[in-house]
Amino acid sequence: MAILAKNKIKIFKKPKSLPFKNSEIIDWFNDILLINSIAGVQLNIIFVTLPEIQNMNRKFRKKDKPTDVITFSMVEGKFTQYSYDMLGDIYVCPDFIKAKDSKSVLRRLIHGLLHLLGNDHKGESDLKKFIILEEKYLKLIKLD
């Protein structure tokens, strides 16, 4: 039996008002990575304010408005186990989501992780597949 390398998931600035612990987020992400046969990677989850996410959106996406999540991948295209150690960063803005429950915020975190794994939703069929994956992982962690 193969031994999988441990993932390094770091969480920064999580608001105390969110109803889940850092350790829960890390466990959920590890479960999703394991299902995708991914181990030994690093990623950062950074919680930001509305002004911070708007500044990032303006600077990197040329959209001068806040958004829910921005992902910066260190991987080009679909992730393969041997391509990189560092997957990237997920910036999420709970205030934009306007919900403090774990399902709404976690859905956006999963959304960011799916982008780090190389998934996209540029067309309608891609968006449907993306939503199916989000639902699959919410069910996995029993937040459907």
Tell me if residue 126 falls in helix, strand or coil.
Answer: helix
CA distance 84 to 41: 8
Tell me if residue 105 falls in helix, strand or coil.
Answer: helix
Q: What are φ and ψ of residue 11, in 5° steps?
A: -120, 130
Tell me if residue 130 falls in helix, strand or coil.
Answer: helix
Is 11 within any annotated ligand binding site?
no
Q: Which residue has the tokens 């829910």?
A: 68
Is 87 within any annotated ligand binding site?
no
Nearest by Cα to 113 from 19, 57, 36: 36
Is 106 within any annotated ligand binding site?
no
- Token reading at 83: 């391509």
Residue numbers in the known binding site for Zn(2+) are: 111, 115, 121
Residue numbers in the known binding site are: 111, 115, 121
